[in-house]
A and B are shown apart, each in its own frame.
Chain A
Amino acid sequence: MLELRGFACGYGLIRAVDGLDLTAPEGMITALLGPNGAGKTSTIMAIAGQVQAQAGSVRFAGADLAGLGPAARTRLGIALAPEGRRIFPDLTVGENLLVGGYTRSSAESRATEESVLALFPRLRDRHRQRAGTLSGGEQQMLAIGRALMAGPRLLMVDELSLGLMPAMVDQCFGALLDLRRRGIAILLVEQNTHRALEVADHVTVLVSGRKAYEADGAQARQDPALVDSFLGMKEPA
Chain B
Amino acid sequence: MFYLELLLVGLVWGCTYAMMALGLTLVYGLLRILHVAQATVFTLGAYVGLLVANHTGSLAGAFVAAALAAGLLGPLVYRFIYRPILDKPPFVALVASIGLLIAMEDGFRLLFGPYGLSFAKNTWFTTAVGFGGLSLNLVQVWIAVAAVVLLSLFALFATRTRAGVAWRATVSDPSIAESFGVGVSGVRHTSFFIASVLAGVAGVLVGLLNNLVEPGMGSVISYKGLAIIVLGGLGNVPGTLLASLLLGVVESFGTVYLGKLLDRDAIAFLFLILVLMIRPQGLLGKAR
Residues of chain A at the chain B interface (Cβ within 8 Å): 48-50, 70-71, 73-75, 80, 82, 86, 88-91, 95-96, 98-103, 106, 146, 150
Which residue of chain B has the shortest Cβ distance to A96 in the bound complex? B169
Chain B positions within 8 Å of A89 at CB level: 172
How far, in Å, is A140 (CB) from chain B's closest CB?
Answer: 15
Cβ of B3 under 8 Å from chain A? no
Residue in contact with A150 in the complex, picked from B169, B177, B180, CB distance below 8 Å: B180
- Docked-complex contact A102 and B182, CB < 8 angstroms: yes
- Docked-complex contact A95 and B165, CB < 8 angstroms: yes
Cβ of B173 under 8 Å from chain A? yes
- Docked-complex contact A88 and B168, CB < 8 angstroms: yes
Chain B positions within 8 Å of A73 at CB level: 179
Cβ of B130 under 8 Å from chain A? no
Question: What are the nearest 5 A-B pairs in CB distance?
Answer: A70-B179, A103-B181, A88-B172, A102-B181, A99-B169
Given A50-B175, A86-B176, A90-B172, also A71-B165 (CB < 8 A)? no
Residue in contact with B165 in the complex, picked from A74, A82, A91, A146, CB distance below 8 Å: A91
| Chain A to chain B contacts (Cβ below 8 Å), 18 pairs | A50-B179, A70-B175, A71-B178, A71-B179, A71-B182, A82-B176, A86-B176, A88-B168, A88-B169, A88-B173, A88-B177, A90-B172, A91-B165, A91-B172, A95-B168, A99-B166, A101-B180, A102-B182
Which residue of chain B has the shortest Cβ distance to A106 in the bound complex? B162
- Docked-complex contact B180 and A86, CB < 8 angstroms: no
Interface residues of B in 116-165 (CB under 8 A from A): 162, 165
Q: How far is the CA of A76 from the CA of B257 in the complex (A)?
A: 66
Tell which of B165, B175, B176, B182 has the most Cβ of chain A within 10 Å.
B176
Chain A positions within 8 Å of B176 at CB level: 82, 86, 88
Interface of B is mostly: helix
- Docked-complex contact A102 and B172, CB < 8 angstroms: no
Chain B positions within 8 Å of A102 at CB level: 162, 166, 180-182
Given A50-B179, A74-B180, A150-B180, also A98-B162 (CB < 8 A)? yes
How far, in Å, is B105 (CB) from chain A's closest CB?
Answer: 36
Q: How far is the CA of A202 from the CA of B168 in the complex (A)?
A: 39
Q: How far is the CA of A98 from the CA of B178 in the complex (A)?
A: 13
Interface residues of B in 201-242 (CB under 8 A from A): none
- Docked-complex contact B179 and A99, CB < 8 angstroms: no
- Docked-complex contact B178 and A86, CB < 8 angstroms: no
Number of residues on chain B facing chain A (CB within 8 A)? 15
Which residue of chain A has the shortest Cβ distance to B176 in the bound complex? A86
- Docked-complex contact A75 and B165, CB < 8 angstroms: no
- Docked-complex contact B181 and A71, CB < 8 angstroms: yes
Q: How far is the CA of A99 from the CA of B172 in the complex (A)?
A: 12
How far, in Å, is B218 (CB) from chain A's closest CB?
Answer: 30
Chain A positions within 8 Å of B177 at CB level: 88, 99
Tell which of B166, B169, B176, B179 has the most Cβ of chain A within 10 Å.
B179
Tell which of A71, A74, A146 has the most Cβ of chain B within 10 Å.
A71
- Docked-complex contact B175 and A99, CB < 8 angstroms: no
Residue in contact with A48 in the complex, picked from B162, B173, B179, B181, CB distance below 8 Å: B179
Q: How far is the CA of A96 from the CA of B176 in the complex (A)?
A: 11
How far, in Å, is A216 (CB) from chain B's closest CB?
Answer: 31
Chain B positions within 8 Å of A90 at CB level: 168, 172
Chain B positions within 8 Å of A80 at CB level: 179
Instruction: List 20 other contacts, CB 8 Å, given A88-B172, A95-B165.
Output: A71-B178, A71-B180, A73-B179, A74-B180, A74-B181, A80-B179, A82-B176, A86-B173, A88-B168, A88-B169, A88-B176, A88-B177, A89-B172, A91-B169, A98-B166, A99-B177, A99-B182, A102-B166, A102-B182, A106-B162
How far, in Å, is B167 (CB) from chain A's closest CB?
Answer: 10
Chain B positions within 8 Å of A91 at CB level: 165, 168-169, 172
Q: Mark B169-208, 1 if CB is under 8 A from A, else 0.
A: 1001101111111100000000000000000000000000
Chain B positions within 8 Å of A75 at CB level: 181
Q: How far is the CA of A80 from the CA of B178 in the complex (A)?
A: 12
Q: How far is the CA of A103 from the CA of B176 in the complex (A)?
A: 13
Q: How far is the CA of A200 from the CA of B262 in the complex (A)?
A: 73
Chain A positions within 8 Å of B169 at CB level: 88, 91, 95-96, 99
Residue in contact with A100 in the complex, picked from B168, B172, B180, CB distance below 8 Å: B180
How far, in Å, is A42 (CB) from chain B's closest CB?
Answer: 15
